[in-house]
Structure 1
Amino acid sequence: MSSFKSQTDSEILGTALDNIKVLKETLRDFSGDQNSRPTLTSNQIQQQLSYEGKVLDKNATKLALVCKPPFKSKELISLIPSMLDSVMKIGNLVFMIDKSTCGRTFLSAVKSASLETIESVERLMVLYKTKVEISNVEQSRGSENGILEHIYQSTSKTFSRCEQLSKLGVNNKDVIVGLWKTTVGGYLGDAIGDLKELLNEIGLLENEEPKNELLKMRIKSALFVLISANVLVEKLYKMISSDNSICFFTGIGSNRNEGMLYPESVEWLDVIYENCKQVPELGDEFAGCLLEEYYIDPPVPEDDEVAEVVERLENTQFFDTEKIILSGNENSAGSRDKNVGLQMSGQKGEVSVRNQKVVG
């Protein structure tokens, strides 16, 4: 409070808003590369974020109660430093993430959730400031009641953001598995369903024109590509989400020996997730091109657009090497055998299943 002593109540809230704005801008620019600050493990980050979220929740509750009639601005101002301290601690936890150790996806999820929480507090601060300013001048009761209602609504949103902090995954893999359901899995079948419906519609036409026959062949080809890609994505998801398996990948980079197997890393999980996210997007784009060609009259004369999307989909590289090994449980001899392997071409996404023995 000492830094606020010479300021009016409104100025104190203005200063708090300025501090939050600076924190937001710094957070947005933070990349996690070559972090020179002291760092924590992803599990430590998640635990502390959950704790700070609960502290912030309590502070927001106290401030909401203080805003009820009879309102005394000094009581509200006395709680602002605690609120600001909670926000700063949440932001500082993001700065303690090293991307190479915790993973890009983990950093992105924590950063996004923290920014959303901080922005919700920022909106509350604006409302507190308005509440203080209204209380200092002659205003109708309706104006104060309106601000109070907005404060309650924004406080409720802040509660949700605080709860979100406690639900973040404890590591990169945990975060990816959680995000997969909403960013990948929920959309995989959409384009396939659209194309199947279109195929059915074309097949029901009594007078099939050559154009429709050609389009039917292309849709069948598209379905093959999309279904193959979806099968691959689903296999990859099962591999990384299973608690009873260990993923191994062939070495990458100048310091890795080609053909040698290495345990899964945050880097590999990021690469797999980021590329698998492209499949639903490319699939929708692919289906959209074919639907547009069928429904627009006159038809699109060139195949370039569709061909380009097909090439992008087929050339989507899920990883830089050609093999992913899904290991089974270790046996008593310390070797991992009867492992199901997933092998794909780096260019065309061809999938085959084979047995692989990895000696631990």
Structure 2
Amino acid sequence: MKLFQCTNCKNTVVFENNVCVNCGYLLGYSSYYNKIVSLEANATQWKLPELEDKTYAYCKNHKHKVCNWLVDVEKGDEFCLACSLNRTIPDILDDDNLAKWKQIEIAKHRLVYQLLRFRLSVVSKTIDDSKGLYFDFLAKDDLPEESKDLKTGHANGVITLLISEADPVVREQIKQQMSERYRTLLGHFRHEVGHYFWDRLVRDNVEVLAGFRNIFGDESMSYADALTNYYNNGPQANWQQRFISKYASSHPWEDWAETWSHYLHLTDVLETAYNFGLKTDPKITAKKNLKMNASFDPYKETSFKKVLNTGMPLLFALNSMSRSMGEDDPYPFIISEPVKNKLEFIHKLLKSV
């Protein structure tokens, strides 16, 4: 993520801030200009020199304290790009639902930020029903009996997320039950949007699809049968040698979505390191593979080798810092040679968009 500053006092602020704690100015984010700007508190619309002197207002969801994005008044939109993708939200008269929705929106807004940085098309189904995207955020208790087994997932441009995933206790319980090494809201979004972009970038492109099948396998095999086999019999033998996770071994579609989400993890971590000017020079003799300098914007870097050779020691350092705080590794994965090839396929595909 990019580092941001309050344009009034130059205090460092983070992506989700809606008030500068140093000077008290309101803060708003422009997804078009990728800027956070300061706003005087005694107004509801602002003419902003930093944004070409256009007039902006807050997204309608700002009143619920779940969004700090701005909308161009002249365009007449009530919701920002990220919030316009919502089809269903939970009952926010329930305080617990509102708290969960806030956490969900934090993760979703970060996802949309990243998709825009990749210059991917992000459009609501309201505008383009066939190629657009929708999000349904559902509480299982509110579902009809016949839908009680509904799970987080993607289908035809609609990403469904059970809001229980916003409860860290529930999420940790599921993580343990599923013997997973990583489970976060942002990870869910990145995984499920990977399925959506498989439809957009791979499915209907004969050349890309052939390359996909060569690396990930033939997705025409029965998805339902593959998942049944996975849940009944577990992952493929020696899955660590060919897949980024156990679940990735269930079917080529899941291998793609898991690998896609990991490429997004890697890119985001590298952008953060780039904005902090991070580099490492380990104080050990055998340090060749641990030395790195995050001196480039990963969204603009065409060399996958450079991305990977910087990202791997960075993630190792990140894990080491986390252990110093008594926490588990935030990135507990080993990237094998076949997984590197899969990541490179996604890297090249995104650079060609």
Instruction: Give the TM interval when normalised to the shorter protein.
Output: under 0.3
Q: Higher relative CO (CA 8 A, sep ≥ 6), structure 1 or 2? A: 1
Greater C-alpha Rg: 1
Report the TM-score when normalising by structure 2: 0.28
Identify, as 1 or 2, the structure richer in helix.
Answer: 1
Identify, as 1 or 2, the structure richer in strand.
Answer: 2
